[in-house]
Copies of this chain bind each other. A is one copy, B any other.
Amino acid sequence: MIGAAHAETFLHEHVPLTRQMQVRVTGCDPEGVLLAAPLAPNINHVGTVFAGSASALAMLAGWTLIHARLAEWPFETTLVIRRARIDYDHPIDGDYEAWCPSPAADQWDRFGADLRAGRGRLELAVEVRREGRRMARFNGVYVALRNEEGDQPCPD
């Protein structure tokens, strides 16, 4: 799978809001993906992290985990999120992180088999953290589609 620096460059180049949010990819390996963002560009009216920024970082952590794996695959895919849910347990009063652990091997295997046949679906759980403490729980359903040959969803 691609590493943290490569994944961060991809996000900053292709999703410009991640630059505004100052998203950093601080971990990207078979264990999972860890993203980080500072409070300042993501602050809200009460001095804590804007709920939309917390949700976006979690969503990106899940997306990056699958994207990093798919980069190894011998065919082109398009990866999107189909559904998301987030529970905000505590206000986040500083810099924050989103941790998406890799799912079990059998889930990857099923996802891979389905994707080879045209369409894979993977549900991922992400924790939003502040100094190691869980502040919000995110759950996302991601869908990857195998592109037809010659189909170029990402023209740049």
- Spell out A's residues near B (CB within 8 Å): 10, 14-17, 20-21, 41-47, 50-53, 55-57, 59-60, 78, 80-88, 91, 153-155
Contacts and interface: CB of A to CB of B under 8 A. Distances in A.
How many copies the complex holds: the figure is 2
B17 A41 contact: yes
A36 to B, nearest CB: 15
Given A51-B80, A51-B81, A81-B88, A153 B15 contact: no
Given A45-B154, A56-B55, A84 B81 contact: no
A17 B50 contact: yes
B81 A45 contact: no
A60 B50 CA distance: 10
B17 A42 contact: yes
Given A55-B52, A55-B55, A56-B53, A46 B15 contact: no
Contacts of A43: 15-16
A70 to B, nearest CB: 12
